[in-house]
Chain A
């Protein structure tokens, strides 16, 4: 399942992305980082074939992603989008069943996926009356039930409380151990440092740097991407990243 970006560029109005040349490492966690509007979501939509690149190719095992039939792609790649719709009167189970479109129905696997997030008691609960965080967890569980080799998630920990964020990171780690390739767009830099193996850093649609997290997620690169100074400090739980809370020139 080799997912590769070969000199990919895309433009919509004044926004330009790329050219990006990258290879998503298999069976690892890759994070796409950057400010709002830097092209993270566009890159994710390109990776998933929802958008067609203006130039270059995005290939999965050598085939252009956007050319792959939706039902075949769904068996290889699943996606957790940022926005969640209000399906009319759906239960949690209905939402899970939708993600089983390309595979055989397996009630046992639905329950297993929900159990990862302690959601089994909500199987017949109304999806629309859940909180934003719970709904997010259900859609993550649904993408796991889809059982594809590659899982792409756009900001999976948005709206989540700290304990649920930790739960998601733990599950992502387990998925990696099971051999899944994971691609995330994420904001929390300390979390990126803790869970990811590879990072792509975007700024204004350009790829600033890419590489293994340990050598690429540096104070210098972060400063370039976010235009603010960063410091790191060691804690017993790993490396932490922090920034001044107000711009330095306004500090006295």
Chain B
């Protein structure tokens, strides 16, 4: 009787689409799920720490509130939670949000549902930076040479793609996509060449390419979080411009949008935010492509809700996928990129088939 939940879903969707308040409530609901995912994911791990202790460690880190919270945990437990599990879980939050928003923005600019931040050269640029550092053993930027080079190469790739696509002051979406895909192939070939000629270092580079939240620490998480929050807030204020761009550049201009400025600013901010995120996580696929669609299925197409919705669903999804990466096989952490693909794609195909209805045309 699979039609029974479908009827209730349709009723829910029609209701949510027609009521602003229902959309805000749904956002709030996602925030609550996110908080639960964070606490749950901090709870699971190879060393058992009670659920209450996890809550108390979190509570003790919140200014003012900490005074009222009993501290029934040991110093070791505190270290495990605060130094190992928290940065990994919060890293999932930041990376997931960055990829989710980035995907929603890029899909709006290119008016294309199968685009994502990686398509404009971001991922292959970051990959080249990281793999080069590993294989050539570069250390000239200190402890975080790999992250910094991944970031710089990702930004540089996007800028090259954008400049290449500029014709008469306008960056045409089709040129940008083609240039992005072409440059990605080129950079990936160089990465493959580096890997091919250094078989003994393949492992480390290979793991970076598959993505992982495991080794994120506070020192790298802080600046990345700052960058992602800043970019996301500014992108969030651009939702009307991004909506207009979906109707076509000429239409957007005719309703009053400064098209080239919006595109330039948005692409720069997405590049900044996602480059920062992947510099600490490696290449985690699927989130940027799919989470905006999940948000659209829940909230409808306007970026006013799609942007925060993609950030929240991206964070929740990545945090839970990381739980599976850590917990699926005892003693082994599977690279999270593998999990996002294997678990996420069938899940998405299912909800798209069942719930998207005629939203993408009939």
Interface on A for B, CB 8 Å cutoff? 45, 48, 50, 69-75, 77-79, 81, 83-91, 94-95, 97-102, 124, 126, 128-129, 146
Of A77, A89, A146, the residue contacting B359 (CB under 8 A) is A89
Contacting pair B256 A88 (CB below 8 A): no
Task: Mark B350-362 against chain A: 1 for CB-CB distance below 8 A, else 0.
Answer: 0000000111111
A70-B256, A71-B257 known, 13 other contacts, Cβ within 8 Å: A70-B257, A71-B256, A79-B254, A81-B254, A85-B111, A89-B300, A90-B243, A94-B300, A101-B255, A101-B256, A102-B255, A126-B357, A129-B359
CA distance A73 to B253 in the complex (A): 9
Contact of A70 among B14, B113, B253, B361 (CB under 8 A): B253
Cβ-neighbour of B240 out of A48, A69, A101, A124 (below 8 A) = A101
> Is B296 in the interface zone, CB < 8 Å from A?
yes
**Contact call A50/B359, Cβ cutoff below 8 A:** no
A72 to B257, CA, bound (A): 10
Q: With contacts A88-B113, A94-B243 known, is A124 near B18, CB below 8 A?
A: yes
Closest chain A residue to B252, Cβ basis: A98
Chain A residues near B279 (CB-CB < 8 A) = none
Neighbouring A residues of B17 by C-beta, 8 Å: 91, 124
- The answer to whether A86 and B253 have CB atoms under 8 Å apart is no
In the complex, chain B residues whose CB is within 8 Å of the CB of A74? 254-256
Question: Considering the complex, which residues of chain B in the window 72-127 have a beta carbon less than 8 Å from any beta carbon of chain A?
Answer: 107-108, 111, 113
The distance from the CB of A31 to the nearest CB of chain B, in whole angstroms, is: 19
A89: nearest residue on chain B (CB-CB)? B301
In the complex, which residue of chain A has the Cβ closest to the Cβ of B17?
Answer: A124
Provide the residues of chain B in CB contact with A95, threshold 8 Å: 247
Contacts of A97 in B (CB 8 A): 240, 243, 302
Q: Are B258 and A81 in contact (CB under 8 A)?
A: no
Residues on B with C-beta less than 8 A from A75 are 256
User: Does A70 contact B300, Cβ atoms closer than 8 Å?
Assistant: no
Nearest chain-B residue to A74 (Cβ)?
A: B256
- Nearest chain-B residue to A143 (Cβ)? B254
Residues of A within 8 A of B361 (CB): 86, 128-129
* With known contacts A88-B296, A94-B301, A101-B256, A83–B246 Cβ distance under 8 A: no
Which residues 201-259 in B have Cβ within 8 Å of A in the complex? 240-241, 243-244, 246-248, 250-259
Q: How far is the CA of A77 from the CA of B256 in the complex (A)?
A: 10
Can you spell out 15 A-B residue pairs with CB atoms less than 8 angstroms apart? A48-B254, A70-B253, A74-B254, A74-B256, A81-B248, A81-B250, A85-B111, A88-B360, A89-B297, A90-B302, A98-B243, A101-B240, A101-B241, A129-B359, A129-B362
Measured in the bound complex, the distance between the Cα atoms of B254 and A83 in whole Å is 14
Interface centre among A69, A84, A91, A101 (most CB of B within 10 A): A101
Contact partner of B250 (CB less than 8 A), chosen from A79, A87, A88, A146, is: A79
Q: How far is the CA of A129 from the CA of B18 in the complex (A)?
A: 18
Interface centre among A77, A88, A99 (most CB of B within 10 A): A88
**3 A-B pairs with least C-beta separation:** A74-B256, A89-B301, A102-B256
Query: Measured between C-beta atoms, what is the minimum distance from A144 to chain B in Å?
Result: 13
What separation, in Å, do the CA atoms of A77 and B253 have in the docked complex? 11
- On whether A88 and B358 interact (CB within 8 A), knowing A69-B258, A73-B256, the answer reads no
Residues of B within 8 A of A84 (CB): 247-248
Question: What is the CB-to-nearest-CB distance from A3 to chain B, in angstroms, rounded to a whole number?
Answer: 15
How many whole Å from A62's CB to the nearest CB in chain B?
21
Contact among A69, A77, A87, A101 with B111 in the assembled complex (CB-CB below 8 Å): A87
A100–B296 CA distance with the chains assembled, in angstroms? 21
Closest residue to B14 on the A side, CB-wise? A124
Q: Of B18, B108, B252, B253, which is within 8 A of A88 by CB?
A: B108
A85 touches B257 (CB 8 A): no
What 0/1 pattern do residues 284 to 309 of B give for CB contact below 8 A with A?
A: 00000000000011001110000000
**Which one of A73, A78, A87, A146 has the highest number of Cβ atoms from chain B below 10 Å of its Cβ?**
A87
CB neighbours (8 Å) of B247 from chain A are 84-85, 87, 95, 98
Q: Mark B330-362, 1 if CB is under 8 A from A, else 0.
A: 000000000000000000000000000111111
Contact across chains for B251 and A81 when beta carbons are under 8 A apart: yes
B-chain residues with CB within 8 Å of residue A71 when the two chains form the complex: 256-258
In the complex, which residue of chain A has the Cβ closest to the Cβ of B255?
A: A101
With a CB–CB cut-off of 8 A, which chain B residues contact A81? Answer: 248, 250-251, 254
Cβ–Cβ contact A50 & B250, under 8 A: yes
Closest to B104 in A: A88
Say yes or no: A126 contacts B358, CB within 8 Å: yes
In angstroms, Cα B192 to Cα A212, docked, is: 69
In the complex, are the beta carbons of B301 and A70 less than 8 A apart?
no
Instruction: Across the interface, name the chain A residue whose C-beta is closest to B301.
Output: A89
For residue B295, give the distance in angstroms from its CB to the closest CB of chain A: 9
**Chain A residues whose C-beta falls within 8 Å of the C-beta of B255 in the assembled complex:** 74, 78, 98-102, 146
In angstroms, how far is the closest chain A Cβ from the Cβ of B353? 16
Q: Separation in Å of the B344 CB from the closest CB of chain A?
A: 19
B244 x A98 contact (CB < 8 A): yes
B256 close to A79 (CB less than 8 A): no
Most chain B CB within 10 A, of A77, A99, A100, is at: A99
Establish whether residues A87 and B359, one from each chain, have CB atoms under 8 Å apart when the complex forms: no
A72 to B258, CA, bound (A): 11
Within 8 Å CB of B243, what residues of A? 87, 90, 94, 97-98
Known contacts being A74-B256, A98-B244, A101-B244, is A85 close to B251, with CB within 8 Å?
yes
Q: Which chain B positions have C-beta within 8 A of A72?
A: 256
Provide the bound-state CA to CA distance between A126 and B301, in Å: 9
